[in-house]
Each structure stands twice: as C-alpha cells, then as structure tokens.
Amino acid sequence: MSIDKDEIYEDLDWVAAFKKGENPELPFTKIVKKYQEKLYWHIRRLVVEHENANDVMQNTFIKVWKNLSEFREDSKLYTWLYRIATNESLTFLANQKKKASLSIDHEVLDLSNKIKAESNFDGQKLEWKLQLAIQKLPEKQRAVFNLRYYDEMPYAEISAILETSEGALKANYHHAVKKIEQYILNHID
C-alpha cells in the first residue's frame, strides 16, 4: 500500500480540523470513510470471523476518536491507524486464547475451523489453502505477512506499526513465507 503526499496532507488537514474541535465529527467521518475498508480487511484477516472483525474495528475507531487529539503529526495517520487496529486485533486474539484456556471447547480458538465455516469456502482452491496456512502462523508473524503481502507495505511502515526493527521483520516475513510454502506442499491433493 502506498499513500502519496497529497493524501498525507489531506490526513493532516483532517487531524488539524479535528483538533480544532469546532465540528470534529466531520473530519472524523472522513477518516473513517477513507480507512474503514483497509482496516476492516486487515483486522478480518487476523481474527477471521466477520462479527469479531466488526467488534474490533469499532473499538479501533473508538480509540481513534478518543486519542486523535493527541496524535502527533511526526508519524503518518494511516500507520497510526494500522497500529491501533493491529494492537486491538492481537489483544482480541489474546483474550480469546485466555477464554479458550478456561473453556472445555478448544475449538473456539481454532481459526482454521472458522475459515472452513466461511460460506464460500472451497478447500480445493489454493487461495483458501493460503488462508489456512496463514492462520497456522504465530500471531505477530501473521500480522507481518499480511501487512507485507496484502497491504503491500514497505518494511519501514510495518516497523512503525509493529514497533519492530526492519531486520527482524524481514526475517519474520521470510520464515512466514517458508512455513506457508511447507503447509501448501503438505496439503496439495
């Protein structure tokens, strides 16, 4: 994903308008409309189910609303938004894990089953196999792969979002792709 300078200035204008506080819902709505879909899919790929993605995205934007006046213009708005969305998603998954550890029903945690429950799931398709392979990755590695592969982010931006060094991210991405490859090789009919 690349955002040009005009878009960055547009974002900064909206942030400035929001901070002015005269009619904050207008710039806030513009920000939501601009980024809702990107953030939704980023969250959805991490938590899989629509209902959960919806909850996490709502919490993400509520946090944005509450903290936008504190946003510092030395970082890009969209990396800040992605950071909140990623943290919310990982927190959600961690909470799910805690709940599952207390529950007899360990299926709650199995994201693969949730993928297979998607209405248009087709296990023969490589695209779905890829999704199943991604869910086998550790959560942070999954986030790295998704941000690089789907959101096409430079490592510098992923680094700003995940607060991890670029070198570590490159290694993470490499391992993730290798694991995915192995999974697909093991599941070719």
Partner 1 sequence: MNQENQILEELQEISPLVSNIPRTTPYVIDSDYFANVPATLYGITEVKNPYTVSADYFQNFAASIYKKCKEADENNSAPTLDLLKQNPFNLPENYFEQFEAQLQNQLKGNKRQGLLARIGPWKYWSAAASIIGIIGFSVFAFLNAGSQKEEWKTSWFEAKKIMNEGNLESEFNSINAEEMAAYLTEQGHDVDAAVTACIAEDSDLEDGLFDIENEKGIEAFLNNTNLELN
What part of residues 19-48 is at the interface with partner 1 (CB under 8 A)? 25, 28-29, 32-33, 36-38, 40-41, 44-45
Q: How far is the CB of 187 from partner 1 (least distance, A)?
A: 12
Measured distance CA(147)–CA(158) in Å, rounded? 7
Cβ proximity to partner 1, 110 vs 181, nearer residue: 181
Nearer to partner 1, 9 or 121 (CB): 121
Among 62, 94, 117, 168, which residue sits at the site for partner 1 (rule: CB under 8 A)? 62
> Which amino acid makes up residue 18?
F
Which residues have CB under 8 Å from 109's CB, separation 6+? 96, 97, 100
Integer Cα distance of 57 and 125 in angstroms: 28
Return the closest-CA partner of residue 82 out of 63, 55, 98, 66. Answer: 63
| Rounded Cα distance, 98 and 50, in Å | 20
**Per-residue x/- marks for partner 1, 142-181, CB under 8 A?**
------xxxxxxx------------------xx--xx-xx
Q: How far is Cα 132 from Cα 189, in angstroms, rounded to an integer? A: 15
Site for partner 1 contains 71 (CB under 8 A): no
- How near is the Cβ of 153 to partner 1 at its closest, in Å? 8
What is the 8-class DSSP label of residue 108?
G
Tell me if 180 sits within 8 A of 146, measured CB to CB.
Answer: no
Shortest Å, Cβ 56 to partner 1: 8
Residues that bind partner 1 (CB under 8 A): 1-2, 25, 28-29, 32-33, 36-38, 40-41, 44-45, 50, 54-56, 58-59, 61-63, 65-66, 92, 118-122, 125-128, 130-131, 148-154, 173-174, 177-178, 180-181, 184-185
